[in-house]
């Protein structure tokens, strides 16, 4: 793993894989390091924010090779069951692009176990890894200017859930009534990195 300083109180680690970033985050949290402020996983990186007066950066970097020697992935934090009505605007297009029939698209999407790799784009929006490779389709050539909240969508290697009405460039398979983000809830985001998600077809 390559590391890059970010200012004088953060380090960016290239993991080259969203799952590795998530496992590395869990591994670091288990070390209970003094001066560690926050860990921010992304697609291929993990940002480590720390108190420069308390954090031993040299010792921390020495921990990374030990992580690479680990064989077993970290256990997920929480599991979520998300009911989905598979009636999305792009379901037929995904059928065309994949060559699968509609029932198989739904079955493959709902039978996978997803892990929240990171949150981004909009508050509470989860980038979920674990999508069946046969369901990997490109983003829309022309994004929609607005879709309803709760849209369950796929693009490239990710699945995701739009927590609110926003523009959207992913292929929408269906919708859920699960509230992904509520500013009056603690914490506001339902999902956090490391959680697992199962989609359940509903009528």
Taking the C-alpha atoms of residue 125 and residue 116, their distance in angstroms, rounded to an integer, is 10
Q: Tell me, what's the pLDDT at 75?
A: 52
pLDDT confidence of residue 56: 95
- Contact between residue 90 and residue 80 where contact means Cβ atoms under 8 Å apart: no
Other CB atoms within 10 Å distance of the CB of residue 160? 24
Q: Report which of 114, 108, 124 is spatially closest to residue 18, judged by C-alpha positions.
A: 114
Residues of the chain with pLDDT under 70: 70-77, 203
Identify the pLDDT of residue 10. 95
C-alpha to C-alpha distances, 16 to 13, 25, 163, 185, nearest whole angstrom: 9, 14, 27, 33
What are the helix (H) ranges across the chain? 18-29, 57-68, 91-98, 102-111
Q: What was the pLDDT predicted at 155?
A: 96
Cα(103)–Cα(44) distance, integer angstroms: 32
Return the SS3 of 6: coil
Question: Which residue ranges make up each domain of the chain?
Answer: 2-68, 79-201
Tell me the CA distances in angstroms from 45 to 10, 25, 186, one per residue in order: 13, 10, 27
In the CATH scheme, what is the code of domain 2-68? 3.30.1360.40
d(CA 74, CA 91): 33
For strand 126-129 and strand 158-161, is the pairing parallel, antiparallel, or unpaired? Answer: antiparallel
Q: What's the CA gap between 140 and 155, in Å, rounded?
A: 8
Name the architecture of domain 79-201: Beta Barrel (2.40)
Return the pLDDT at 74. Answer: 53
pLDDT for position 71: 52
Nearest 5°: phi and psi at 195?
-65, 155
Per-residue confidence (pLDDT) for residue 73, from 0 to 100 = 53
Q: Could you give the CA distance from residue 157 to residue 75 in angstroms, rounded to a whole number?
A: 21
Q: What is the CA radius of gyration of the chain?
A: 18
Q: How far is CA 21 from CA 85, 104, 128, 141, 169, in A?
A: 31, 31, 13, 29, 24
């Amino acid at each position: 793993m390559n590391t890059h300083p970010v200012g004088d109180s953060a380090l960016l680690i290239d993991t080259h894989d969203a799952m590795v970033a998530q496992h590395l985050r869990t591994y670091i949290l288990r070390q209970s390091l003094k001066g560690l402020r926050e860990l921010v996983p992304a697609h291929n990186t993990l940002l480590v924010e720390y108190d420069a007066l308390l954090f031993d950066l040299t010792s921390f970097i020495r921990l990374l090779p030990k992580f690479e020697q680990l064989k077993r992935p970290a256990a997920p934090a929480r599991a979520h069951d998300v009911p989905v009505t598979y009636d999305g605007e792009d379901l037929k297009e995904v059928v065309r692009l994949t060559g699968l029939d509609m029932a198989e698209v739904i079955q493959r999407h709902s039978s996978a176990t997803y892990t929240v790799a990171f949150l981004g784009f909009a508050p509470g929006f989860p980038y979920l890894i674990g999508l069946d490779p046969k369901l990997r389709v490109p983003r829309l050539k022309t994004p929609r200017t607005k879709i309803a909240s709760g849209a369950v969508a796929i693009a490239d290697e990710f699945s995701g859930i739009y927590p609110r009405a926003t523009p959207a460039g992913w292929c929408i398979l269906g919708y859920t009534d699960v509230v992904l983000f509520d500013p009056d809830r603690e914490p506001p985001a339902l999902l956090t990195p490391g959680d697992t998600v199962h989609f359940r077809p509903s009528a």
